[in-house]
Amino acid sequence: MTNPAAKLRRTLANQAKRAAYSPTVRNLARTAITSEKAEPLRRKLAAKGLDGHVRRFTSECLPKGMYFAKLSIDDWQKFKGESFQLLQGSTVVYGNEIEPPAKGFPLEYRNIIVTSSDVAKFRLSIDSSFSLQIGHGAFTTPQQVAYDKQYGVEQHGDVFYSLRGNTTSPSKLLITFPGFGPSTSRISYAVSYLKALTDADLSDTLMVCFQDRYLAAGSYMLVDNGGRSLVQRVNDVIQGFIDRYGIAEDQMLFFGASKGGSIAIQYAENHPQARLLVAVPQMNLRYYLDKPFFKDNIFAQEGMHSVPQPERLIRNYFAEGRTIDYFYTNTDEQSNHSLIELVEDVPGLSKYRVDGQHGEVARKALPTMLAIMRRFLSDHTGSSTTTVDEVHCFNHDGARALQVRVDPDQTPVSAANWYLEGTLGRTRFLQFLSDHHLPFVKYTDEQQRLHPEIDDLRGLRSIVAYDQSGGEWIATLPQTYELTEDVLPRRTHPTATLRLDAEGPAEYVIVRDTKVNRFSYDCRRGTGNEPRIDVHIVPDIDAFDLAEVRHRTDARFVAAVEALESGELVDLMVNRLFLVSACDSAALFVHDLSLSEPATQVLAEYSATRTTVALDNAAATPVSVFAQLDLDPAEPSVQKV
Amino acid sequence: MAVQEHLLTVVIEAPAPLDRESTTYRRLMSARLRWESEFTVRVVEEPLTTALITELCATVGSKYIVFVRQTHQITATYLPTLLKFLSSRTVYLAEPFKYTGAIPKQFASTSIDRNYHYTRDTDVYGVAFNVGRLGDVLDAIRDVDRTGVYLAYRLYWSINSVTPLEEGYSVSSDTSSAIGISPQPDVSRLVPLIPTPSSSMRLHLLRHLVLFLRGLRETERTDVTLDHLRGLVSTFDLTKNLDLAEHMHAFECAWIRWLDRPDTKEHLFKQLSDQDAYLVFDDAPHDQSDSRDRRDEGIARDGHLGESSDVVLHRIELGEETLTVVKSYLPRDLRPELDSPDHYDFYRRPITADSVILFFDRPMQADDNAEHLYAHFTAEHPEFTQAYFALNPKSPDWERLSARGFKLVPIFTPEFYELFLRSDLVVSSQIFNLRHQGKTLANSRFVYLQHGVQLNDMSNWVASKFFDVFVATGKVEADYLKTVAPVETLNSGLPRLQTLSRDSEGSRDLLFMPTWRFNLHQASPEHFRGSQYFQAINAVLTDRALLNYLERTDRTLHVKLHPNIEKRAAQFSFSRRVVRSELSYREAISAAEFVFTDYSSAVLDAAFVGTPIAYYQWDASDFFHEQPYESRLDYRSEGLGPVFTDHAELVVHITAERYAESDPEFARRSERFFEGVDTERINDTIIERMLSL
């Protein structure tokens, strides 16, 4: 039986809560309480143990009808490595791949944005019990709270950052952006604090460490929790510092690794004189995020894709001749999108090729990145000269490996990185070298070999070392005949962006690890309006009549692709065309029998990403992929995964 | 079984007479003050064997038994601690920290790590065994040598770990490491193959196998089968810890790798300039005469076997099987790592004027071949600006060499190892197992100058050492060395001989240079005084006729004591005419009119410059039984001076001044002995070779 008084109390309480959490009230409160003047009040509230309430209350305000949700999955052990989705009705509101949480903690995903506060409307795609908390305020963890406190991260309106160094009269500005943490971390929102930099290093510099505190694990600082663009708000914060301290444009450095690198590229846009230091940034977010970890979370945010992609921005920066230090690895084609591996003759660009997986690059090259920062912070430009005592070259099936012995008396004493340095036109190229257990020996390991297809062996000039204190050592590389023996003249590779309106064969090159393949492709708007791209793999693009084919399909786009070097990387070419088209599905037509195997790879790839693939027998082609896939061409050709 | 009369029986292994004044004996006896009723002492005069231990177990009337060799060292409270521990519980065994060298002062803080377990001596000594249980084991396992009894006992009773008592025990000699252990002839197993999960036991077993193999290289005969050895390696996974054994026993490690994988016969042993030296193990049946012929043929052609330089190092009988070990010189391109940039090859870097070259003699004493070669090299090749001479700064030679402009570096310091790492060549009169950051003498260039001419047969030792050049003096020694190092042997002569001159014109100095006896290491002063060694030497020093002669002819007998007996010098009867020499060997030899010794090869320096020499070998019949090596030289038919075994004959030889009479036989022998040595070109010959490496 219902108690009318209790019901009334509940109704009033809910109304009061709604009023209190209304956007107007919260916006006002947030503005007031996050201002610098409110610091004493914040301390007082914290002393009373009310900081949690304040934090939730002042957390970003979602548009009406949107809520923050926290999902806990109970039986995660049973589903380790599997993908799951959280569905609100039939709509996927969040998805991820299950990874073990930190020891002793539940598997939680916080700050999923949903449009209902009714828990009953949600279900999981996997057969696991789960709990869902839904509220108006953002969720956090004690670990995140402690982290923010430790690093001094504070909220300023909708933007979060910590400040270091000279906060009174800086002449330089060092701005850092964070990468992703592990998806199950208790600290979902980190800052790139760079503990190695000391107060002395930052004596003339204000360091601003931004926190990407949006959505479940960050939004590339492109959108807020409500999906609204953040770009102007963040730009205003940066401009605020510049104006407040009168920072000269060339006295700024933007730094970020991985996601942080992409954000750095984004927010350097208005500052052409600033230096840019990035490691493994994602060039094309749609391409990079098209994977189980992201597919059903930030990939689904339209705001991620509607802004100019980092690739487009950095191409502009290349054209402007900005000073850019770019660390990358050839095993990271998803981030690179075949740009940095091939680009050359760009003034101001230093490209550092570090081996290893995406996540290893920043860690390995940290001494160099600290050196670049410290040289910037101290205006240090000097170098020490050292010598290469010995150089040995090895030929491994055409790839070249190198071993050098440097003068042990003229080398860095602290942690350092060594590089083989050369020029690619006006671009500086540095290949990371491995440390031998003999301190004076440096060499290229298997992943660091030089490949005549993409590397200019004749352009190699020196051995360079950077230590984290900012020291630079340069040694001339003795010319060795073996290094360039039997090497054909190098071909430069086009790096133009992949276009949906190629209108005539264009060349596009893809690099993955040590593989390089060139493609001739043509892509046009189809005559139909089905959200699909038809991709025809052809043996000779000049003999293929794409103009005619586009009239015989209802697809939105049609493309023809000819692999010029080998059958490798066709899968990536198709995938890139598909993603750039932003269509819902792709149909693949294989006219070149020799490429049917790569075509099956495409299928496997799409299976993994739950994309619909259509296969059909091109009317005019003698051989179809079905022969290889052992499918019946007469059957309906749409495969749903 | 006897009725238990005591808690512990202490078995002292001591050849008669028992040295009752030795520190070890006195320390054992001091336990009687408190524990007299708890232990008894039993002295055995013959070496302990498994059979003897079995017999002791059956006859002693105590619960525990411990074996102590007279020459071993114990800490002052070793026995009381043992007794106290054993009195309060029943255990399989109790043991102290065990060492091969001196017991460290802070032995209680010895870290019980892999290295400790590997280097710990595993003979029966110092460990208190439960008599009943030891009897059980020996009853079950009779075919194990004494040296394996401790390990067999632990395997049998699955004693996987033992916490040492806070006392120290040292076997006081690293001889077993140098020459290995040789089980009794009828032993067919080293230990029973009872699996153990204990990593420390596996390290002990590895050590035991290494030392057995080392000893087998000396005896070349055993009843232990290859099957048993392979079983040992696989049961206890002994290849896993070879890193601990590698630097001292690389030869044996290669052997163990072959036991583990018999299909891989060739094992890289030493990198060289143009080719590499491999050890090749082969247990396939061969016609023995073939190999012997090949070896003889090789020697006849100055070390080269037909087209190759391969030499047979060993032919070892294991039960019914024969294992042949050949040193084979194979092309460098057999090593695939040379095609990889992560492998640094020290030989790829030529020796140039910029090269770091490191020279050294003994850490505390220079004045040997490296010093002489260094002086010559830096004078003749001033373009080599990075030639260093390593020495301990506390050495009396430091100041002298510093004044001569030597580029000195403190030996065995980080600075020394840093230079070693960078060096392109190491040149020394000593072989130290240098290792630093992966660089060893196995993978870099090393010229071994030696510190004397080898008169003993040390070929097995030579075969297990790493060198690119081994300097020999004269054809006789070179031929001997070429049987194990045909490519590396260089008959140039020792560098110190080039500048050694006979400065004895008008000299009235005689020189006596007795060498050392290993079995007197731990002797008490009284025991030493009673030894034949002391008696024989002191009899010369105090011989009335000799003293009269010296007085009458205004001569002085200088006695250059071996460094090992310097501390006992006061026991000898020096006098106005018989003095203890403070000079260096070189100075003493140079100034002498006549030099005599018992067995020292240092007298050959004197013979080289034409100074008459003689041998006084009062213990010739026993000497080599007690030494680690055998004589290669027949002193009577090949020696470069007369050999005396009788004191009176020696004295007459001197007092009748027969030493001053020239003897064509010795002149002929000398000429043959030093054949091939061009005195004026000794250093240049070595330098030419070393710079071409």
- Residue B51 scores a pLDDT above 60: yes
CA-based nearest distance B250→chain A, Å: 22
Stretch B441-467: mean pLDDT: 93
Check whether residue B82 and residue B196 sit in a common domain: yes
Mutate which of B345, B385, B422, B436 to test chain A, going by most A C-beta atoms within 10 A?
B422
CB neighbour class for A163 (10 Å; exposed up to 12, middle 13-18, buried from 19): middle
Query: pLDDT per residue over A297-323, tens digit each?
Result: 888 888 888 889 999 999 999 999 999
DSSP string, A547-599: HHHGGG--EEEEEEEEESS-STTHHHHHHHHHHHHT-SEEEEEE--GGGHHHH
Query: Is B348 inside a domain boundary?
Result: no
- In whole angstroms, what is the distance from residue B592 CA to residue A547 CA? 110
Check whether residue B237 and residue B295 sit in a common domain: no
Mutate which of B333, B339, B340, B435 to test chain A, going by most A C-beta atoms within 10 A?
B340
Question: In the prediction, which pLDDT does B501 show?
Answer: 81
Q: Provide the Cα torsion A91, A93, A98, A104; round to 10°.
A: -130
Residue with tokens 């290295």: B115
Question: In the prediction, which pLDDT does B457 show?
Answer: 84
Residues of B with CB under 8 A from a CB of A: 339-342, 344, 348-349, 354, 418, 421-422, 437-439
Residue ending a domain, choose from B281, B312, B339: B339
Give the residue, B6 or A55, on which the prediction is more confident: B6
Residue ending a domain, choose from B236, B258, B280: B258
Question: In the prediction, which pLDDT does B665 show?
Answer: 94
- Residue A259 scores a pLDDT above 70: yes
Confidence of residue A602 (pLDDT cuts 50, 70, 90): low
Stretch A363-386: mean pLDDT: 95
Q: Which DSSP category does B101 fall into?
A: S
Stretch A479-487: mean pLDDT: 81
Check whether residue B116 and residue B241 sit in a common domain: yes
**A72 and A107 Cβ atoms separated by less than 8 Å:** yes
Tell if the CB–CB gap between A390 and B348 is shorter than 8 Å.
yes
The number of beta carbons lying within 10 Å of the beta carbon of residue A265 is 28
Question: In the prediction, which pLDDT does A18 show?
Answer: 63
Query: pLDDT per residue over B16-45, tens digit each?
Result: 788 899 999 999 999 999 999 999 999 999
Shortest CB distance from B344 goes to which of A396, A438, A445? Answer: A438
Query: Is B381 inside a domain boundary?
Result: yes
- Residue B304 scores a pLDDT above 80: no
Shortest CB distance from B341 goes to which of A408, A440, A444? Answer: A444
Residue ending a domain, choose from B339, B366, B401: B339
Check whether residue B316 and residue B451 sit in a common domain: no
Side by side, which strands form the sheet with B311-318? B221-222, B311-318, B321-331, B275-282, B266-270
Mutate which of A387, A392, A434 to test chain B, going by most B C-beta atoms within 10 A?
A392
Chain A residue with minimum CA distance to B347: A390
Check whether residue B413 and residue B549 sit in a common domain: no
CATH number of the domain within which B21 lies? 3.90.550
CA-based nearest distance A390→chain B, Å: 7
- In whole angstroms, what is the distance from residue B204 CA to residue B212 CA? 12
Check whether residue B465 and residue B604 sit in a common domain: no
Task: Tokens for B448, please give them.
Answer: 């071994």
- Residue B363 scores a pLDDT above 60: yes
Question: In the prediction, which pLDDT does A632 show?
Answer: 33
Question: In the prediction, which pLDDT does A610 show?
Answer: 36
Question: In the prediction, which pLDDT does A300 show?
Answer: 82
Query: pLDDT per residue over A237-251, tens digit each?
Result: 999 999 999 999 999
Question: In the prediction, which pLDDT does A575 show?
Answer: 87
Q: Taking the mean position of all CA atoms in its chain, how far away is CA A32?
A: 35
Please give the sequence-ordered ranges of beta strands (E in DSSP) within A496-545, or none if there are none.
506-512, 515-525, 530-537
DSSP string, A70-81: EEEETTGGGGTT
Question: In the prediction, which pLDDT does A454 show?
Answer: 85
Tell if the CB–CB gap between A436 and B342 is shorter than 8 Å.
yes
Peptide bond into B17 cis (omega under 30): yes
Shortest CB distance from A403 goes to which of B344, B354, B422? Answer: B344
Q: Taking the mean position of all CA atoms in its chain, how far away is CA A133?
A: 30
Residues 6+ apart with CB under 8 A from B615: B596, B597, B598, B599, B603, B635, B639, B641, B642, B643, B644
CA-based nearest distance B348→chain A, Å: 9
CA-based nearest distance A341→chain B, Å: 24
In this predicted complex, what is the ipTM? 0.82
Mutate which of A402, A443, A449, A450 to test chain B, going by most B C-beta atoms within 10 A?
A443
Question: In the prediction, which pLDDT does B517 show?
Answer: 85
Check whether residue B313 and residue B369 sit in a common domain: no
> Which of B131, B65, B124 has the alpha carbon at shortest distance from B98?
B124
Tell if the CB–CB gap between A408 and B439 is shorter than 8 Å.
no
CB contacts, 8 Å: A434 with chain B: 342
CB contacts, 8 Å: A439 with chain B: 421, 437
Tell if the CB–CB gap between B341 and A443 is shorter than 8 Å.
yes
A8 sits in the region (left: phi over 0; alpha: psi -120 to 50; else beta) called alpha
A331 half-sphere exposure, CB direction, 13 A CA radius: 12
Check whether residue B599 and residue B530 sit in a common domain: yes
CB contacts, 8 Å: B439 with chain A: 438
Question: In the prediction, which pLDDT does A44 show?
Answer: 75
Q: What is the CA radius of gyration of chain A?
A: 27
- In whole angstroms, what is the distance from residue B1 CA to residue B118 CA? 36
Question: In the prediction, which pLDDT does A639 show?
Answer: 33
Shortest CB distance from B342 goes to which of A396, A439, A443? Answer: A443
Query: Is B240 inside a domain boundary?
Result: yes
Length of chain B: 693
Query: pLDDT per residue over A616-625, tens digit each?
Result: 444 333 333 3
- In whole angstroms, what is the distance from residue A564 CA to residue B507 CA? 94
Check whether residue B44 and residue B184 sit in a common domain: yes
A398 sits in the region (left: phi over 0; alpha: psi -120 to 50; else beta) called left
Query: Is B522 inside a domain boundary?
Result: yes
Chain B residue with minimum CA distance to A393: B341
CB contacts, 8 Å: B341 with chain A: 392, 394, 401-403, 443-445
**Interface membership of A64 toward B (CB under 8 Å):** no
**A276 and A177 Cβ atoms separated by less than 8 Å:** no
**A326 and A424 Cβ atoms separated by less than 8 Å:** no
- In whole angstroms, what is the distance from residue B484 CA to residue B490 CA? 13
Shortest CB distance from A445 goes to which of B339, B342, B437? Answer: B342
- In whole angstroms, what is the distance from residue A441 CA to residue B345 CA? 11
**B167 and B97 Cβ atoms separated by less than 8 Å:** yes
Q: At what angle do helices A23-33 and A4-20 cross, to 10 degrees?
A: 50
Check whether residue B390 and residue B421 sit in a common domain: yes
Question: In the prediction, which pLDDT does B59 show?
Answer: 94
Residue A112 pairs in a beta bridge with A69
φ, ψ at A87 (rounded to 5°): -115, 135
B203 half-sphere exposure, CB direction, 13 A CA radius: 19
CATH number of the domain within which B406 lies? 3.40.50.11820
A402 half-sphere exposure, CB direction, 13 A CA radius: 30
Tell if the CB–CB gap between A392 and B439 is shorter than 8 Å.
no
Please give the sequence-ordered ranges of beta strands (E in DSSP) within B36-108, or none if there are none.
39-44, 62-69, 73-74, 93-94, 96-99
CATH number of the domain within which B508 lies? 3.40.50.12580
Tell if the CB–CB gap between B341 and A437 is shorter than 8 Å.
no
DSSP string, B405-424: T--EEETTSHHHHHHHHH-S
Give the residue, B148 or A514, on which the prediction is more confident: B148
Residue with tokens 């038809």: A534
Residues 6+ apart with CB under 8 A from B215: B179, B180, B181, B182, B183
Check whether residue B383 and residue B300 sit in a common domain: no
**Domain count within chain B:** 4
pTM exceeds 0.90: no
Return the number of CB contacts < 8 Å for A and B.
39
User: Do the strands A530-537 and A585-590 form a parallel or antiparallel pair, or are they unpaired?
Assistant: parallel
Handedness of CA B481, B485, B491, B495 (dihedral sign): negative
Q: Which DSSP category does B452 fall into?
A: S
Stretch B365-377: mean pLDDT: 95
Chain B residue with minimum CA distance to A405: B344
Check whether residue B550 and residue B455 sit in a common domain: no
In percent, the amount of chain A with pLDDT more than 90 equals: 61
CA distance to A86, A97, A98, A111, A269, per residue, from A128 (Å):
11, 14, 12, 20, 45
Shortest CB distance from A403 goes to which of B341, B438, B439? Answer: B341
Question: In the prediction, which pLDDT does B518 show?
Answer: 76
> Which of B179, B170, B184 has the alpha carbon at shortest distance from B125?
B170
Shortest CB distance from A438 goes to which of B341, B354, B437? Answer: B437
Shortest CB distance from A392 goes to which of B348, B418, B421? Answer: B348
- Residue B294 scores a pLDDT above 70: no
Stretch B209-220: mean pLDDT: 95
Question: In the prediction, which pLDDT does B533 show?
Answer: 94
Please give the sequence-ordered ranges of beta strands (E in DSSP) within B260-320, or none if there are none.
266-270, 275-282, 311-318
Question: In the prediction, which pLDDT does B300 show?
Answer: 40
Query: Is B346 inside a domain boundary?
Result: no
Stretch B499-505: mean pLDDT: 79
CB contacts, 8 Å: A401 with chain B: 340-341
In percent, the amount of chain A with pLDDT more than 70 equals: 84
Stretch B504-532: mean pLDDT: 86
Residues 6+ apart with CB under 8 A from B590: B500, B501, B502, B503, B504, B609
Task: Tokens for A48, please give them.
Answer: 């009373």
For the ranges A122-126, A587-591, B580-584, B620-624, the lowest mean pLDDT is seen at B620-624
Give the residue, A140 or B520, on which the prediction is more confident: A140
Query: Is B563 inside a domain boundary?
Result: yes
Return residues 391-450 of A near B (CB < 8 Å): 392, 394, 396, 401-403, 405, 408, 434, 436-441, 443-445
Query: Is B393 inside a domain boundary?
Result: yes
Tell if the CB–CB gap between A437 and B437 is shorter than 8 Å.
yes
- In whole angstroms, what is the distance from residue B648 CA to residue B636 CA? 18
CB contacts, 8 Å: A400 with chain B: none
In terms of residue numbers, what domain contains B95?
A: 6-258
Query: pLDDT per residue over B319-342, tens digit each?
Result: 999 999 999 999 998 899 999 999
Mutate which of A355, A391, A432, A437 to test chain B, going by most B C-beta atoms within 10 A?
A437
Question: In the prediction, which pLDDT does A601 show?
Answer: 64
Query: Is B344 inside a domain boundary?
Result: no
CB contacts, 8 Å: A406 with chain B: none
- In whole angstroms, what is the distance from residue B144 CA to residue B134 CA? 13
Angle at A78 between CA A610 and CA A297, to 5 degrees: 40
